[in-house]
């Protein structure tokens, strides 16, 4: 079977971050020097992702470490993810191997990585407010989705002065602050009424995500119907999971699959030049049904999880199959001239 020709690929990005240039030149560049030119950039993407999935494993398992060591472990994993998340693009650029597959792997995984970073913060402060966890995860998903929808609509990524680099750095700083007993006590102490100080971080993070959504829609100049449908469906999904009292980690799995599936399909539609994918309303409807059919909740929830799992796998396969021709097992030989990383 003949593989259809892929649309021409060109990565367009506007990044207004003041930190990204110094970060790449004065920190990430040291790691790049140790990386052989023969290593494909997609391997670097998968390595960066591995740090975050190890972090998720530590969060779920409740790493048996003293609180200070756990915070340091989280900070270290976030740091190495941040470095290698930038190195994949730097490696692709200096070896002239940028591809649509590389962008898909990078950005489709980032929606999960952002959620894992949020969960790491709650692993330190405590999961005693499950609704707050789900709401902050939902806001994070909306921000990632809006960013990818903007790229689909306008043909370029846009990152403002406070973007993902700054966000992950703030998460790292928070983890490091958790190693200091007086600062940890302050974060947990009531600040307003019975609200502890760490609510400031959660509130600021959620509000920042929503402002990022508004900024993306302002640049697009309208609210795409598919994105509006996703946002409404994601909100209903959260409501259903909260009011049906679904166990936290089960609810997190559903929310991550729903957000990751939509974001991945949007990125794929941009790279393959296909129509904007429609929003999924079946999953939110099933989540709301959990509230009213409590006696059948286990069966309904299993069906919801299986549906989202299959939908996610199918969405990934539909993008990866045509992009598979861009996969490299190795960079055969360094190009005669390549552009040095910034």
Res 331: pLDDT: 84
Instruction: Name the strand (E) or helix (H) holding 251.
Output: helix 248-272
Does residue 335 sit within a domain?
A: no
Does residue 106 sit within a domain?
A: yes
Please give the backbone phi and psi of residue 70, each rounded to the nearest 5 degrees, phi first. -65, -40
Res 279: pLDDT: 93
Domain residue limits at 111: 13-326
Taking 60 as the threshold, does the pLDDT of residue 148 lie above it? yes
Does residue 7 sit within a domain?
A: no
Percentage of the chain exceeding pLDDT 70:
95
Please give the backbone phi and psi of residue 241, each rounded to the nearest 5 degrees, phi first. -65, -40
Region of poorest pLDDT, from 111-125, 219-233, 243-257, 326-340:
326-340
Region of poorest pLDDT, from 3-7, 66-70, 74-78, 244-248:
3-7
Specify the pairing of strand 13-15 against strand 157-159.
Answer: parallel
**Which residue has 């009424």 as its token pair?**
193
Residues 164/110, Cβ–Cβ less than 8 Å: yes
Res 274: pLDDT: 94
Specify the pairing of strand 157-159 against strand 195-196.
Answer: unpaired
Taking 90 as the threshold, does the pLDDT of residue 171 lie above it? yes
Ramachandran category for residue 68: left, alpha or beta (phi over 0 → left; psi -120 to 50 → alpha): alpha
Does residue 5 sit within a domain?
A: no
Query: Mean per-residue pLDDT for 37-55?
Result: 95
Q: Which two tokens stand for residue 107?
A: 């950005």
Percentage of the chain exceeding pLDDT 90:
77
* Digit-coded pLDDT (tens) for 216-263: 999 999 999 999 999 999 999 999 999 999 999 999 999 999 999 999
Neighbours of 270 (CB within 10 A): 23
Going by pLDDT thresholds of 50, 70 and 90, the confidence category of residue 185 is: very high
Does residue 4 sit within a domain?
A: no
Going by pLDDT thresholds of 50, 70 and 90, the confidence category of residue 339 is: very low
Q: At what angle do helices 248-272 and 130-154 cross, to 10 degrees?
A: 0
- CA distances (Å), origin 100, targets 2, 165, 323: 19, 22, 7
Res 4: pLDDT: 58
Query: Mean per-residue pLDDT for 2-10?
Result: 71
Res 340: pLDDT: 42
Neighbours of 180 (CB within 10 A): 13
Does residue 6 sit within a domain?
A: no
DSSP 279: P
Does residue 127 sit within a domain?
A: yes
CATH number at residue 152: 1.20.120.1760
Predicted model pTM:
0.92
Q: How many domains would you assign to the chain?
A: 1
- CA distances (Å), origin 128, targets 112, 134, 196, 291: 22, 12, 12, 21
Res 63: pLDDT: 64
């Amino acid at each position: 079977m003949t593989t259809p020709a892929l649309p021409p690929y060109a990565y367009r990005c506007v990044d207004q971050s003041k930190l990204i240039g110094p970060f790449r030149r004065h920190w990430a560049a040291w790691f790049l020097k140790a990386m052989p030119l023969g290593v494909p950039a997609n391997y670097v993407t998968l390595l960066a992702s591995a740090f975050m999935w190890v972090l998720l494993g530590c969060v779920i398992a409740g790493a048996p470490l003293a609180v200070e060591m756990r915070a340091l472990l989280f900070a270290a994993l976030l740091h190495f993810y941040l470095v290698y998340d930038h190195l994949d693009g730097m490696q692709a650029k200096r070896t002239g191997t940028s591809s649509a597959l590389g962008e898909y792997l990078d950005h489709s995984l980032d929606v999960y990585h952002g959620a894992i970073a949020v969960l790491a913060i709650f692993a330190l402060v405590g999961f005693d407010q499950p609704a707050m966890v789900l709401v902050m995860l939902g806001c994070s998903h909306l921000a990632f989705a809006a960013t990818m929808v903007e790229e689909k609509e306008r043909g370029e990524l846009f990152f403002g002065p406070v973007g993902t680099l700054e966000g992950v750095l703030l998460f790292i700083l928070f983890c490091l602050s958790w190693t200091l007993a007086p600062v940890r006590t302050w974060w947990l102490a009531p600040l307003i009424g019975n609200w502890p100080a760490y609510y400031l971080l959660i509130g600021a993070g959620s509000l920042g995500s929503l402002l990022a959504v508004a900024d993306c829609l302002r640049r697009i100049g309208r609210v795409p119907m598919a994105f509006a449908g996703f946002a409404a469906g994601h909100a209903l999904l959260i409501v259903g999971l909260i009011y049906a009292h679904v166990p936290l980690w089960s609810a997190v799995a559903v929310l991550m699959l729903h957000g990751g599936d939509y974001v991945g399909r949007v990125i794929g539609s941009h790279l393959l030049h296909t129509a904007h994918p429609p929003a999924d309303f079946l999953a939110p409807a099933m989540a709301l049904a959990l509230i009213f059919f409590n006696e059948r909740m286990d069966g309904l929830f299993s069906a919801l999880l299986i549906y989202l799992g299959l939908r996610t796998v199918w969405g990934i396969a539909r993008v990866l199959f045509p992009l598979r021709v861009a996969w490299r097992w190795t960079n055969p030989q360094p190009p005669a001239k390549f552009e040095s990383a910034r």
